[in-house]
């Protein structure tokens, strides 16, 4: 059953291209360029980077939901009109910057959910994949159409698509530039849930409301452990036994075990 979204508070760092609202520690980011189908330009990158930098060590943030303004697009890609004038060196720098911002999202301490309310193409598909979970509206469409422009993906798409749906399916999408439906994306494991159009954000919130009842340290470490699997420089099994020990020694784990034994709900403090 869906819960109704109550009124959110606007946050100070709002910019016109990235609307930021907050409710009970859950931040709602809306990329707000509906006339350009929310394409990612420099201003959007600046605002996203600022938000994730500012909140990097802010453990009062319990979760983040990212969506696009309007009901047609989540994000239709990098802003083609902006990058078309760049040379190779500038292009590589743009791509590196996009990757770095998306790494900040992927490594964020609290879960980030993409509420995909329409086209998620190119940089938009890449943004959704940098998030930890994806809720897609029935009308959502996913794809990496860069080859149509004579380009390769620039914000991690050639890597995360393979991680998320496997080489065979990823190559088909990357080489044809085809879009897939939300249902196909669910079947292929690209998204977590498909919901009726218009319910993406509220469904993302329902999912986060469940996660915020869990031990915050455990959530934080779980995100980091799963990311370790893809980090060739790190032994994820070693990280796991270290983090198991770390969480076991935490007040949260003591509270979790006590609550289990006393048959009550735990009250975690994130310590």
DSSP secondary structure string, 116-180? E-SEEETHHHHHHHHSSEEEEETT-EEE-GGGGGT---SSSHHHHHHHHH-HHHHHHHHHH--EE
- What the block records as the tokens of 192 is 């977590």
**Residue 64 engages ligand CAA in binding (rule: CB under 6 A):** no
Q: Which of 28, 47, 61, 79 binds ligand CAA (CB under 6 A)?
A: 79
**Residue 68 engages ligand CAA in binding (rule: CB under 6 A):** no
Applying CB under 6 A, which part among 72-80, 181-189, 192-200, 258-266 lies near ligand CAA? 72-80
Give the Cβ contact number of residue 236 at 10 Å.
15
Binding map of ligand CAA across residues 38-57, x = CB under 6 A, - = no contact: -x------------------
Nearer to ligand CAA, 157 or 256 (CB): 157
| CA angle, 200 then 164 then 143, to 5° | 65
| 90 in catalytic set | no
Q: What is the residue whose two structure tokens read 């760049």?
A: 86
Q: Could you say which of 21, 90, 146, 205 is catalytic?
A: 146
Cα separation, 152 vs 205, whole angstroms: 33
Applying CB under 6 A, which part among 35-43, 187-195, 203-211, 221-229 lies near ligand CAA? 35-43
Active site residues: 126, 146
Binding residues for ligand CAA (CB under 6 A): 36-37, 39, 76-81, 98, 119, 121-123, 126, 145-146, 149, 151, 153-155, 157
């Amino acid at each position: 059953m869906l819960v109704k979204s109550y009124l959110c508070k606007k946050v100070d760092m709002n910019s016109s291209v990235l609307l930021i609202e907050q409710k009970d520690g859950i931040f709602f980011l809306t990329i707000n360029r509906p006339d350009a189908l929310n394409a990612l330009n420099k201003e959007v990158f600046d605002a996203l980077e600022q938000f994730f930098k500012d909140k990097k060590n802010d453990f009062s943030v319990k979760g983040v939901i990212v969506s696009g303004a309007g009901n047609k697009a989540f994000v239709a890609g990098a802003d083609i009109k902006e990058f078309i004038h760049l040379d190779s060196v500038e292009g590589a720098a743009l791509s590196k910057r996009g990757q770095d911002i998306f790494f900040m999202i992927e490594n964020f301490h609290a879960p980030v959910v993409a509420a995909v309310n329409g086209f998620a193409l190119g940089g938009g598909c890449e943004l959704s994949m940098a998030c930890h979970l994806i809720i897609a509206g029935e009308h959502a469409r996913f794809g990496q159409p860069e080859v149509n422009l004579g380009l390769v993906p620039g914000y991690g798409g050639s890597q995360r698509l393979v991680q998320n749906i496997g080489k065979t399916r990823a190559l088909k999408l990357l080489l044809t530039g085809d879009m897939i439906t939300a249902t196909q994306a669910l079947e292929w494991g690209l998204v977590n849930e498909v919901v009726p159009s218009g319910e993406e954000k509220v469904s993302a919130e329902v999912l986060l409301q469940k996660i915020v009842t869990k031990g915050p340290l455990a959530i934080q470490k779980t995100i980091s452990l799963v990311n370790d699997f893809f980090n060739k420089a790190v032994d994820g099994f070693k990280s796991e036994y270290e983090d198991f020990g770390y969480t076991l020694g935490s007040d949260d784990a003591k509270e979790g075990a006590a609550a289990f034994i006393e048959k009550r709900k735990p009250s975690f403090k994130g310590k």
